[in-house]
Amino acid sequence: MRRMLLLVLVALAVAPPPPAGAKDEPPPPVPTKRHSDPKNQHSFKLPVTWSVSTPNRKFNEGCAIYLDVELPDGGGAFYMELYHLPGLCAPIPQSYWEKPVLWKRENADDATVALEPLPHLRLDLHRGSEEMIRVHTYRLIRGRGFTLVAECPAKLWPVIRDAYFAACKTVETRLGPWPDPPKGYDRSEKDGFTWYVHPQAKRKDVKDYQAYFRKMEREFRKRHGKFAKEPLSEYAIVFHPSKATAEAFLAGAGGRSGHVSHVVERRIFAVPLMLHNPTATSDLRLTIWGLFLARRYGAPYPPWMYDGETLLQYVEGSEGAPLPQATDWLLEQPERIEIPFTIDEGKPEGDPEVARKRQAIYMALFQTGPLKYRKAYKRYLRAIGEGEDWTVAATEHLLSLDLTKMRADAEKLLAKMRKASGN
């Protein structure tokens, strides 16, 4: 007996201690069941212990799946909805874009965006006297956007939270990429962009356009940094031999000159370069720069920023020279320039044309004005590039400046541009 006890003590003495920070084994995965829409196109998984039913009534427009859910043992009830959103370009900006819209529509007490474990928008609201929580989580699958919504009593949210986000990660669709790739076009990948070339397009025209495209991309990266290595969805250039073939492909695709962007579809429609034509060059620079903004920040992006940056590209294409050279259109400004961006998403009020010109003047100030404005705009771009709410970033880095002085400096810049342009 003594010898056995001694052996046990020796074994315990030489046994290696448990590794520092060792944790218990994770619990086994919860069994789940996949739930689909009536057409069996979209689906997601929920725990098998949840009792799920589909009410026999008309759902909201765009709702692919609606489920009433009851937790086991009378733990509570709530509902879930899955929406298919083909125009969603990136989950993070979509969260911020919908925040003020849904906050107002749902008459919520509060609305917050969080990026973990997935980009989502949380609304704290009341249904009658009951406190509720409504959560919208955004996914992008082969270019198709999806929002999985859950609305439950506030006391129930901590109970279902982990299972809800786990369900978000299981969203699937049987549909192919969106938008549909054009049939019969030569397809290639180059630097994170997809090129679809019409079979009648001349090879030299395509190479010349791609060289100009790369030149503009280098300009863009100097200001905005590199694109993500792997885009969330396809950003495409559809190249046609003429405006007529572009129009034949999609009504309106030809625009004024053949160069036009379709931001929602993340495409631009291109034709051979016409650098001798100011109208065509303006359209060319505007459409390419808009695609770069979508590729870098997702869409929708801040409206004032998109309008300001693309309009300056339009001006440069029209004048054939950078600022302070400017077009008469841009220089037709009211006597007093107002601040164009505010914390209410920067949507212009009043005459949209005047607002867009104003946004371009302030963008010119941020890009070519005194050093303090250029530094402030760089900080702003860095913040939204890292996923910060653009209204918060604008308030912190731009609206925190002396706005009276900013307005005066914008008016000085406008006078300088008028002098350089002979006005």
The sign one gets for the Cα dihedral 386, 391, 392, 394 is: positive
Cα separation, 163 vs 172, in Å, equals 16
CATH of domain 32-173: 2.60.120.1690
The sign one gets for the Cα dihedral 375, 380, 386, 388 is: positive
Mean pLDDT rounded to a whole number for the chain: 84
Q: Please report which confidence band the pLDDT of residue 186 belongs to, taking 50, 70 and 90 as the band edges.
A: very high
Query: 32-173 and 179-299 share one CATH topology?
Result: no
Which architecture characterizes domain 179-299 according to CATH? 3-Layer(aba) Sandwich (3.40)
Cα separation, 90 vs 74, in Å, equals 38
pLDDT in the model for residue 343: 38
Q: pTM, whole model, 2 decimals?
A: 0.76
pLDDT tens column, 260-302 = 777 677 888 888 998 888 888 888 898 899 889 888 887 656 7
Distances (CA, A) of 287 to 255, 270, 281, 291: 11, 9, 10, 6
pLDDT in the model for residue 65: 95
Distances (CA, A) of 280 to 42, 131, 169, 263, 277: 42, 56, 44, 19, 5
Element (H, E) at 44: strand 42-47
- CB 176 within 8 Å of CB 209: no
- CB 92 within 8 Å of CB 114: no
Share of the chain above pLDDT 90, in %: 43
* Residue 30: both structure tokens together: 């919860």
What angle (nearest 5°) sits at the alpha carbon of residue 289, between those of residues 374 and 377? 15
Hey, where are the domains in the chain? Answer: 32-173, 179-299, 307-423
pLDDT in the model for residue 5: 43
pLDDT tens column, 70-128 = 999 999 999 999 999 887 778 888 888 888 889 999 999 999 998 899 999 999 999 99
Three-state secondary-structure class, residue 97? helix
pLDDT tens column, 298-353 = 765 677 788 889 888 988 887 777 777 766 667 676 555 565 544 344 344 556 66
149 beta partners:
81, 136
Cα separation, 333 vs 296, in Å, equals 30
